A and B are shown apart, each in its own frame.
Chain A
Amino acid sequence: MELTRRDAAAALAAVGATGGVALTARRAGDDPDNAGGAADGEGGGDVPPNEESVRTSMAAVAAVIYPSEVDGVEAFVDRFLDGRLDGSTHADGLRSAVDELDDAARSWHGSPVADLPESDRDRFLREIGADTAEEDPDGTLAERVRYYVVNELLLALYASPTGGELVGLENPQGHPGGAESYQRGPR
């Protein structure tokens, strides 16, 4: 099943992207004077130096954690990141988590995630604990990789129409797929 430009746009529609809107890593209650702002569109402007490696590494992880029956993964991830790698603190957290993931891959296996064979990539993600960790934007490396890398990518896929259809649900939660599909029976 091919992931399309529409899927990437839909995934962004589900989680927010344009205008610097993205979920901050801040947990509620950390700063009572700032309690009204889930978004943080401040800062940014220049493309950070690691932009390309972040995209490459994210696509490499997606190739492992997405099911084998989806195609077009690299382009889908790239378009999704067009919206997510904005000037937000979420984007900063994502970049840092990918950087640290690549550092760990170099240290343990001699090359960044994207250069590892796919089977080694899967094993490496499990070695650092990203499979069993609970996502936490402020947690350990495993928890941050789960939050900013693994779950970021799974959220993008399964909140998109193609990702939903893989499961049998063409209008998944988070996707504004209209108020008609719930009325239709199985095809």
Chain B
Amino acid sequence: MSAGDAVRDVDRSPVPNADVCVVGAGPAGALVADRLASDYEVAVLDAGPRFDPVDRLARQERSIRPSYDRPDVWDVGGERDAHANSGEWFYPLNHARVKGVGGSTLHWQGMVMRLHEDDFASGTERGVGPDWPIDYADLRPYYAEAERELGVAGASDNPYAPPREEPHPMPAFEPSYSDSLFAEACEELGIDMHSVPNARNSEPYDGRSACVGYGTCQPVCPAGAKYDATVHVERAEGKGAAVIDRAPVQRLEHDADRVTAAVYATPDGTEHRQTADAFVVACGGVETPRLLLLSESDAYPDGLANSSGTVGKFFMDHLFAGVGGTLDEPTRQNHVGFYTSACDQFYDEADEEVGPFKLEFFNYAGPSPVEEALTGDDWGDELLDRLRDGYGTHVAMGGLVEQLPRSDSYVTLDDERTDDRGNPVPEVHWNVGDRALRTIERANEIQREVLEELGADIEWVAGPDATGPAYHHMGTTRMSADPAAGVVDADCRTHDLDNCWIASSSVFPTGGAMNPTLTIAALALRVADDVERRL
């Protein structure tokens, strides 16, 4: 069936007598829907399409061919996804998201660490930023559940990880050959390496294949070995949930203390109203505040659920720090698209001046020969010589760094430009602050030390002047026990509206330096429990 047929045949009318309406079919929305669908009528609305799994090889080809940019792989872009930038720091929003069933897990790399205990108490333990109104112990059982739901391959060899109660669902991926080179250098320097949790099957799990090594994890896994949220969307549908794609929610209708309907558009141009007893907004760190701001009313003139004035404020991402170079020996890179060893040794040294950061040992340093082969003006023996010269001896370390929530980093509406439905587009005003830049320098210092110990010729440094975002949108509807200081309470329920929850990294008061999706999943499972308690 072609996509055009799908547009014509699919019933996109509202679900009668829905108990729960979930907005967004990414990992948070999918997990909430799956958890509630057995006992409740659940409707899920997503702005983007339902992608056909049979197209994944074609999407992989897009990811390799030079004529396609990253957003093209999952059809991001155009008027639907128009956006604006106004900060000092450019934010490439359409490289950082996928709209559609599965959400951004369709293109993520699949790294799933738990936040550290101190991440929940940055103000108290590090002297900067707010504390979360929940602590690690509150989330700990949900982390374990999330690891089972996503399917995480990991090991308990990380002495710096927060306490856990049970092994990971699957064994960790074995270290790479290049990890063994790094290990010698790190041992000399007294730097500890350990495994890293992957939401990628190291063995068959949950009816999905083990990793077969396509090497294109980010942005597409044709094997389905990398978790994506279509897993839980399909499971929720199996339990009776209705998932409506290409149904961008235009606004949330409401009275003073309850959301009454999600008004959504459909491809044929009509608008529908999905009513429900409970609403869970799960649209990520940019579209979640945008939807609340688009839902302004006389009761909420500054945007829905925005009595605190913090909707859209405190936009955060993780920043990349890295160093790379070449050795005078083979390093065996680019067989797989994920990394297998990391170092969290320095994470909890964070204080007011330097934030938490984690270090990664890459398995994909340097150029991919097949991608290189498609560029350049040579072919035949000359091309092969170039590929051989370019491949084989690269090494690199990466890392993620925390940025603090800042009042000058935010998401708002750009009233000068509208999307394909006539709604103001999101405007990202991103700023990261000096502490994040100092933290990048500190990460670079260690990365340089390791590469120098390895004997590498250092060829590039992603330092404060060459950093970029990790595409982890956080902070824009922050969680706070104080209704004047945040959008949602400790249960991720909005302070203003009794029947509206937010399941997203947008509720993170601080970001830590760990990839956020496992925490998003844990919070989503916790939201589902709270919704169920109150229904």
| Interface of A toward B, CB cutoff 8 Å | 13-16, 19, 21-24, 27-29, 32-42, 64-69, 122, 131-132, 134-137, 147, 150-151, 154-155, 157-159, 163-164, 166-169, 171-186
Contacts and interface: CB of A to CB of B under 8 A. Distances in A.
Interface string B360-372: 0001000011110
A178 B335 CA distance: 9
A151 B383 CA distance: 12
A184 B78 contact: no
Q: B173, B222, B374 — which one has the most chain A CB atoms within 10 A of its CB?
A: B374
Contact of A135 (B6, B67, B222, B329): B67
Contacts of A28: 68, 71-72, 75-78
B100 A36 contact: yes
Interface string B86-130: 000000000000001000000000000000000000000000000
B66 A135 contact: yes
A178 B59 CA distance: 20
A38 B2 CA distance: 9
Interface in B413-433: 420
A39 B332 contact: no
> Can you list the 10 inter-chain pairs with the closest CB atoms, starting with the nearest?
A36-B49, A16-B57, A29-B78, A37-B3, A182-B335, A65-B379, A176-B212, A67-B384, A186-B330, A36-B3
B214 A169 contact: no
Contacts of B420: 32
Given A27-B68, A177-B212, 5 more contacts: A28-B78, A33-B7, A131-B379, A173-B371, A174-B60
A167 B64 CA distance: 17
Interface stretch (B287-295, B307-315, B386-394, B513-521): B386-394
Given A164-B369, A174-B214, A33 B4 contact: yes
B58 A38 contact: yes
B160 interface: no
B384 A166 contact: yes
Interface string B320-338: 0000000001101011110
B174 interface: yes
Nearest to B78: A29
Given A15-B60, A32-B80, A181-B335, A38 B215 contact: no
Contact of B62 (A38, A67, A158): A38
Interface string B198-223: 00001000000011111110000011
Interface of B: 2-4, 6-7, 48-52, 54-55, 57-62, 64-68, 71-72, 75-80, 100, 173-177, 180, 202, 210-216, 222-223, 245-246, 267, 329-330, 332, 334-337, 340, 363, 368-371, 373-375, 377-381, 383-384, 387-388, 391-392, 420
B368 A38 contact: no
A67 B381 contact: yes
A179 B54 contact: no
A182 B52 contact: no
Given A35-B49, A181-B213, A15 B61 contact: yes
A153 to B, nearest CB: 9
B215 A174 contact: yes
Nearest to B381: A67
Given A21-B55, A39-B55, A159-B64, A131 B6 contact: no
A34 to B, nearest CB: 5
Given A36-B100, A37-B3, A182-B177, A176 B332 contact: no
A181 B66 CA distance: 26
A23 B222 CA distance: 14
B391 A169 contact: yes
A34 B173 CA distance: 38
A173 B75 contact: no
20 contacts: A15-B60, A16-B60, A16-B61, A21-B57, A34-B2, A35-B80, A36-B52, A37-B55, A38-B58, A39-B52, A41-B2, A67-B380, A134-B375, A154-B374, A154-B379, A172-B368, A172-B369, A173-B337, A177-B212, A178-B212
A34 B3 contact: yes
A27 B392 CA distance: 33
B496 to A, nearest CB: 34
A17 to B, nearest CB: 8
Contact of A171 (B55, B335, B375): B335
Contacts of A185: 177, 180, 330, 332
Contacts of A21: 54-55, 57-58
Contacts of B215: 171-175
A168 B384 CA distance: 11
A167 B100 CA distance: 37
Given A40-B2, A182-B332, A155 B55 contact: no
Contact of B336 (A35, A42, A179): A179
A8 B518 CA distance: 39
Contacts of A19: 54
Interface centre among A131, A134, A159, by most chain B C-beta atoms within 10 angstroms, is A159
A159 B57 CA distance: 13
A25 B103 CA distance: 24
